[in-house]
Amino acid sequence: MFDTDPTGAWHHGSVPAPFERPVIAQRNLPVLLRGLVGNPCAPPEALVRLAAANIDRTGLARRRDLPAQAAVILAGDEDADLRLELAANPNLPAEVQIVLARDVDVRVRGRLAEGAEYFTTVGVHGRHFPRPLSHDVYALLARDPQPKVRRALAFNRHLPDDIRARMLDDDDARTAAIAAAEWDPAPTARISELLSRATGAFGRELLLLRLDGPLPTEVARGMLAGIDSSAGPANSAELLPYIAATADLDAALTRRFLSDPQLRAELAANPTLDPEHVAALAHDPDNEVRAAVVTRRGLDPVLRESVSVEYDDGSSGNTVEWLLDGDLSEPDQLAFARSRHQVFRKTLAMRTDLSDEAVAILAGDESFAVRLFVCERQPNAPGWLLARIAADWTSYSRWDMLAHKNFPADVATALARSDDPQDRVVAAAHPGLLIDTIEALLADGADDVRRRAATNPSIPTDRLITLLEADESAVVSGAAANRTLPVVTMHQVLDQARL
C-alpha cells in the first residue's frame, strides 16, 4: 500500500528522507508502476524492484525475460494463482523450478510439469516451446504422489529418456500410456503390454496414434476380437478408426475395414495399404476418403494431382503434419505452392522458411485461409496483402499484422482515422504514424485508443515524458509501457515510489 508523507512523496512502509521535487505527479505513480511492468524494455534491475512490491505481480510472472532474482521473489508468494502463472513461464531458472516442483498446490506442480507450448505476438505470430527443466526437477516430478502431475509430465516434450523409460512402469496406466505415446520414437516393443494395461479408450488411442510404425497385425486382431466380444462395445468401438489407420494390414483386415463406410477414410490413410487399394480409393465417392488418399506421404505426385477434393476454406484445420517436418527444397516448396490441393498450400504457408517466390505464389492464392496464414506466419509477407487481410480480419492476429515490418504506413494511418474504434486501437502503435496522427489518437474518446497511442515508439522522448504527467490514467499507463521510455526515467519513477 502506497501513502504520502507531508512533503507529498510516495513511499512504501517508511518515511523517506527529504529530496528534490518529484519528477512525476504523485497521483500517477501507481498507474506508472503498472505500466512499467508491461514495458518490454524495462531493464532486469527495474523488474526486480517491481517484484518486491505488490504491483501487478501476475503481469511480471508472465514476462519471458523475468530475471532470476524476481522469479525467486514471486515463487515465494502466498497467492497460489500467482505461482500458477509463474509455473507457466518457459524461462524459469533451476532454483525456481525446484521450488515450484515442491509447491503445496497440485495445480502449480502440474503446470510446471506440463511444459506447455505458448504463443507470442511480435509481428509474426509464432509457436514457441519452453526450455527444458533441470534433470533433478524432472526426477522429482516423476515421483509426485498425484497422478495428474505425473500425467502432465508425461506430455512434456523435453522429458529425458531415462525418466520417460521409468514412467512406462508407472502404477497409473494412463501415465504409462502417455509416456509411451509421447516418446519419439515410441517403444514399439512394449506397445502390446501397454495396450493391455490401458483402461478405457483414451490411453489406447494415444498409443495407437503415436506408434513408431504399424500396429502389429496380431495385436490388431486381438483388439478387434475384444471389441467384437465386448458386452458394452460403445467405448471400445471408439478405437476402431485408430486401428484401421495404424494396423499392419493383411487381406482380411483390409476387407473388414473396406466394408465399413465409417472406416474407409482411416483405411485410406494407413501407410501399409497396398497400392491397388490406394488407387481405387482415390476415386471413392466420399470426399473425406479421397482427401485421406491425397495426404498420404510418398504418394505418386501425378496420382495426387489427379484426385479431386473439396476443402472448407473457412477451416483452419486440414493440415499435413509431415509437410511441416524437416527440410523442404525450393523445388518442392514451389511444387506444393502450386498444388491443386488447398491442404498442401495451407500447410506450406505455415512454414517460416519459404523462399520469396513461394511466398509470392501463396500470397496470390484463391483461398482466404492460405492468404491468412501467409500474413500470420511469413516474415516476408507482402505489405499489400497484410493491408488487404487486416482490413476485414477481426481475430487477434490482426494486431500482429499491424506490427509486421512490411505493413504499409499509409494504410495504418487510414485505419487510425477510421470511425471504428477497433481500427484505431490496432493502428495506434504503428511506428509509421505521423506525430499529428498520434496526437489525435492521444486525444481520442476511447480509453483503449489513448492507451495504445501512448505506446507508439515514434513519440519524441520529450513529449513522452510529458505524457507521464497526464491527467488520463490510460495515457499514463501507455506511456509507462512505451519501449522508448528512457531507462533513467524508469528508475526515477521507482526511486520516487521508494521501491
Contact predicate 452/459, CB 8 Å? no
CA distance 492 to 348: 49
Question: What is the structure's pLDDT at 91?
Answer: 86
Condensed to tens digits (0 to 9), the pLDDT of residues 16-34 reads 333 344 456 677 889 999 9
Q: Which three cell numbers stand for residue 379?
A: 516474415
In sequence order, the 6+-apart residues with CB closer than 8 A to the CB of 221 are: 253
Question: What is the structure's pLDDT at 74?
Answer: 96
Tell me, what DSSP letter sits at residue 23? Answer: S
**What is the pLDDT confidence band of residue 199, given thresholds at 50, 70 and 90?**
low
Which range, of 1-10, 236-245, 351-360, averages the lowest pLDDT?
Answer: 1-10
CA distance 439 to 466: 13
Rounded to 10 degrees, the C-alpha dihedral 99/101/105/110 comes to: 150
CA distance 220 to 409: 60
Q: What are phi and psi of 259, to 5 degrees?
A: -75, -10
**What is the pLDDT confidence band of residue 210, given thresholds at 50, 70 and 90?**
low
Answer whether residue 291 shows pLDDT above 90.
Answer: yes
Question: What is the structure's pLDDT at 395?
Answer: 84
Question: What is the structure's pLDDT at 465?
Answer: 94
DSSP 446-483: SHHHHHHHHT-TTS-HHHHHHHTT-S-HHHHHHHHT-T
Contact predicate 80/108, CB 8 Å? yes
Where does residue 161 rank: exposed (0-12), middle (13-18), buried (19+ CB within 10 A)?
exposed
Q: Which three cell numbers stand for residue 139?
A: 526426477
Which range, of 247-261, 309-323, 350-364, averages the lowest pLDDT?
Answer: 309-323
Task: Give the three-class secondary structure for 247.
Answer: strand
Tell me, what DSSP letter sits at residue 299? Answer: -
Considering 91-95, 209-213, 286-290, the range whose residues carry the highest mean pLDDT is: 286-290
Question: What is the structure's pLDDT at 3?
Answer: 39
- Rounded to the nearest 5 percent, the helix, strand and coil shares of the chain are 55, 0, 40
Answer whether residue 129 shows pLDDT above 70.
Answer: no
DSSP-assigned beta bridge partners for residue 126 = 120
Question: What is the structure's pLDDT at 367?
Answer: 94
Q: What is the mean pLDDT of the chain?
A: 86
Answer whether residue 67 shows pLDDT above 90.
Answer: yes
Condensed to tens digits (0 to 9), the pLDDT of residues 379-431 reads 899 999 999 999 888 887 888 888 888 999 999 999 999 999 999 999 999 99
Answer whether residue 120 shows pLDDT above 60.
Answer: no
Does an H or E element contain 367, and which?
A: none
Contact predicate 343/311, CB 8 Å? yes
Answer whether residue 188 shows pLDDT above 50.
Answer: yes
Which range, of 166-175, 255-264, 451-460, averages the lowest pLDDT?
Answer: 166-175
In sequence order, the 6+-apart residues with CB closer than 8 A to the CB of 27 are: none
Condensed to tens digits (0 to 9), the pLDDT of residues 32-47 reads 999 999 999 999 999 9
CA distance 258 to 253: 9
Answer whether residue 191 shows pLDDT above 70.
Answer: no
Mean pLDDT of 79-108: 95
Question: What is the structure's pLDDT at 403?
Answer: 85
Q: What percent of the chain has pLDDT over 90?
A: 62
In sequence order, the 6+-apart residues with CB closer than 8 A to the CB of 291 are: 265, 309, 311, 318, 343
Condensed to tens digits (0 to 9), the pLDDT of residues 248-274 reads 999 999 999 999 999 999 999 999 999
Closest CA relative to residue 445, chosen from 465, 472, 469, 467: 472
Tell me, what DSSP letter sits at residue 216? Answer: P
Q: Which three cell numbers stand for residue 384?
A: 499489400
CA distance 455 to 433: 12
CA distance 22 to 495: 10
Condensed to tens digits (0 to 9), the pLDDT of residues 317-337 reads 678 989 988 889 999 999 999
